[in-house]
Amino acid sequence: AAGVIQSPRHLIKEKRETATLKCYPIPRHDTVYWYQQGPGQDPQFLISFYEKMQSDKGSIPDRFSAQQFSDYHSELNMSSLELGDSALYFCASSWGGPSTDTQYFGPGTRLTVL
């Protein structure tokens, strides 16, 4: 079965650079969630979209922005990168809006900021 696809899988950036992470949800899924997992930490919710509209917002820095496109894929844009942004970024998708129980996670993008 098709799963959530994230690209790139690994990304290395310098401080103050920008990064764009992409997420392709499972076909027919209309809801996308972004989570950040720091080293040895639990995943923290960043932001979510349902039918291309932002549905919830968590602890996402102002330097980050995200959107969901007409084909339901989503991109997380990160600017003025800091060392503390080094983390594993997960995307998850579901069908039927945020009230749906099950979120399916992608393999994650590991971002390293030097």
Partner 1 sequence: GDSVTQMEGPVTLSEEAFLTINCTYTATGYPSLFWYVQYPGEGLQLLLKATKADDKGSNKGFEATYRKETTSFHLEKGSVQVSDSAVYFCALKVDNAGGTSYGKLTFGQGTILTVHP
* Sites of contact with partner 1 (CB under 8 A): 4, 31, 33, 35, 41-45, 48, 50, 55-56, 58, 90, 92, 97-99, 101-108
Amino acid at position 7, single letter = S
- Give the residue among 47, 53, 51 at the shortest CA–CA distance from 76: 47
Tell me the C-alpha to C-alpha distance, in Å, between residue 24 and each of 42, 72, 86. Answer: 23, 7, 22
- Comparing CB distances to partner 1, the nearer of 85 and 89 is 89
Give the shortest CB-76-to-partner 1 separation in angstroms: 15
Q: How far apart are CA 22 and CA 25, in angstroms?
A: 10
Give the shortest CB-81-to-partner 1 separation in angstroms: 22
Six-digit token string for 73: 């894929």
- Comparing CB distances to partner 1, the nearer of 22 and 105 is 105
- Comparing CB distances to partner 1, the nearer of 14 and 101 is 101
